[in-house]
Amino acid sequence: MRFKSIASGSNGNCYYVEHEGAAFLIDLGINKSQLARKCNDHGVPLHFVQAILITHSHSDHVRGISAFCRKNPLPLYALPETYQGIIANPTIHHKPDPTLCRNITCGVPFEVAGMKVTAFHVPHDSHDNVGYFIEAGGTNLCLMTDVGEFTPEMKAYIAKADNLVVESNFDQHMLETGSYHFLLKRRILSGVGHSSNATTASVLEQHLTLRTRRVFLCHLSGNNNTPELAYESTHQALRRAGLSPEIVVFSRLQPSLFFEL
């Protein structure tokens, strides 16, 4: 498999996963011109993309889907509740074509672009947010973003991940002392909000195994985190656990390198 972050954060999220000349996107929260520019500038073969997998219905994960699919009518894989969430989202003015929607069920594997994919629940204040466990070519990639809390099921997926994409959204001190309204702070800190650097690091320290080759930290806050803080928190925790996978922190605005998994 090959993997690349195209965008990661509240400004928009989009990830590219490829295997043997076929690919899919996970989320499309940037507009089609941004997607085209980022792909052209960074060598992403967008013509390989055969489908879009959706994690949940928040705008920063789905706002670009409808416009992109008008010219590229690709199947959209998501829970039925996620489609209802997109329809109910007032900030999404153009809704996806319902004929493109392919319903998935958590825990039931499906195949797309030659890869085996299994969805699992991830707590968040949306319509049934999911993560994805992707298998192909003798390896796997696990992605979990917008994490309100880590469930036993999520921890089990972490333990068997060869490559893990996981949210490390905010630094606790920066959030508590920052300018956000207290209601927004309360939402972020809730069990259906986002995961802090410290929480993510602690879970990885306890549940990551020697099999994991790379940890990708995603969806960093632009106001309440820095790449350095996110990296150091996870690095210190994994060092305490005697683990040394490569740690990559995704930029909010710039695509990552391609990673051969």
- Write out pLDDT tens, residues 101-148: 999 999 999 999 999 999 999 999 998 999 999 999 999 999 999 999
Residue 22: both structure tokens together:
């076929």
How many Cα atoms within 13 Å fall on the side-chain side of residue 104?
Answer: 30
d(CA 6, CA 44): 9
- Write out pLDDT tens, residues 12-37: 999 999 999 999 999 999 999 999 99
Task: Identify the pLDDT of residue 127.
Answer: 86
d(CA 63, CA 58): 8
d(CA 62, CA 253): 17
The answer to whether the beta carbons of residues 158 and 200 sit under 8 Å apart is: no
d(CA 175, CA 119): 30
Residue 1: both structure tokens together:
């498999």
Residue at 126 is within a domain: no
Determine the structural domain holding residue 24 and report its residue range: 1-105
If asked whether residues 155 and 248 sit together in one domain, one would say yes
- Average pLDDT over every residue of 59-86: 96
If asked whether residues 89 and 172 sit together in one domain, one would say no
- Write out pLDDT tens, residues 140-155: 999 999 999 999 999 9
Q: Which amino acid is at 236?
A: Q
Backbone angle region of 188, left / alpha / beta, with phi > 0 → left and psi within -120 to 50 → alpha: alpha
- Write out pLDDT tens, residues 198-232: 999 999 999 999 999 999 999 999 999 999 999 99
- Average pLDDT over every residue of 152-166: 98
If asked whether residues 237 and 159 sit together in one domain, one would say yes
* Residue 119, H or E segment: strand 115-121
Q: What is the CATH number of the domain that holds 9?
A: 3.60.15.10
If asked whether residues 100 and 151 sit together in one domain, one would say no
Residue at 190 is within a domain: yes
